[in-house]
């Protein structure tokens, strides 16, 4: 479980991004983290990884404080940020470098996910387009075998076919123990994918509940607008 308890955080002393904010993610399932620009979605992911330190409160991963960045905790977490760069080396060399940090890394799953994205493993990361880099990096993230997979705007830069491939890749990699948290504005890209929805605004959780009607189309954009407009003073 990821537990966020009464945290406050700001990038400067004049304005806090999060103030006395609490939220929990139970283990297992695909969570959608939605909110307006500036509500702290990306910040939350970095706080979960221990890459940012809350000024008040605590973020814990299975009972261990995230800021400690213990190896046994980090080996169960993988972050796909919205923006990143990859070294100009072969994918095989890149995998050899990071694989020791993830005990359940699966090269078989990597090959399967790359194939799903119509990519191959014999690529040089420095020669790929941004869209191709995203596919490769998400394939590595999925193959890491971590219990927690955090993704910030994963479908940005992907074409329509690639977005469909992304959804299939995530579903194919899911186990009862894996928790995927997707922070996104592209709600229509993930609305068929999610098990659970969290909508945050103004340091509050407006909605945090499972999506039980998995056999029916759910318009997340409509749900988001309705939820925000119903609680304008929260």
Residue-wise pLDDT for 138-159, tens only, equals: 999 999 999 999 999 999 989 9
Interval 69-111: pLDDT, tens? 999 999 999 999 998 889 999 999 999 999 999 999 999 999 9
pLDDT at 234: 43
Give me the CATH number covering residue 172.
3.40.50.300
Q: What percent of the chain has pLDDT over 70?
A: 96
pLDDT at 221: 82
Which residue range forms the structural domain that includes residue 58?
2-230
Nearest-angstrom CA–CA distance, 7 and 13: 15
pLDDT at 4: 96
Interval 173-192: pLDDT, tens? 999 999 999 999 888 888 88
* DSSP-assigned letter for residue 109: H
From the CB of residue 92, how many other CB atoms can be counted at a distance below 10 Å? 13
Whole-prediction pTM value?
Answer: 0.92
Say whether pLDDT at 233 is over 60: no
Nearest-angstrom CA–CA distance, 114 and 121: 7
> What is the SS3 string spanning 31-74?
EEEEECCCCCHHHHHHHHCCCCCCCEEEEEECCEEHHHCCHHHH
pLDDT at 99: 96
Total domain count, the chain: 1
Interval 2-59: pLDDT, tens? 999 999 999 987 888 999 999 999 888 999 999 888 889 999 999 999 999 999 999 9
pLDDT at 186: 84
């Amino acid at each position: 479980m990821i537990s966020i308890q009464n945290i406050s955080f700001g990038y400067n002393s004049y304005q806090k991004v999060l103030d006395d904010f609490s939220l929990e993610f139970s283990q297992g399932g695909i969570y959608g983290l939605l909110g307006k620009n500036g509500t702290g979605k990306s910040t939350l992911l970095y706080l979960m990884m221990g890459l940012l330190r809350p000024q008040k409160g605590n973020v814990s991963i299975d009972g261990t404080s995230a800021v400690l960045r213990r190896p046994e905790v980090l080996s169960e977490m993988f972050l796909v940020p919205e923006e990143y760069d990859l070294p100009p080396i072969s994918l095989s060399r890149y995998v050899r470098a990071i694989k020791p940090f993830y005990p359940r890394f699966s090269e078989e799953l990597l090959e399967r996910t790359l194939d799903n994205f119509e990519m191959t493993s014999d690529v040089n990361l420095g020669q790929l387009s941004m869209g191709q880099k995203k596919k490769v990096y998400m394939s590595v993230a999925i193959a890491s075998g971590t219990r927690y997979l955090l993704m910030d705007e994963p479908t940005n830069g992907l074409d329509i076919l690639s977005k469909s491939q992304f959804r299939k890749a995530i579903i194919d990699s899911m186990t009862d123990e894996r928790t995927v948290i997707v922070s996104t504005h592209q709600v229509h890209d993930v609305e068929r994918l999610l098990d659970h929805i969290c909508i945050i605004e103004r340091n509050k959780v407006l909605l945090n509940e499972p999506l039980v009607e998995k056999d029916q189309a759910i318009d997340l954009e409509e749900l988001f607008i309705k939820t925000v407009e119903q609680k304008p003073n929260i």
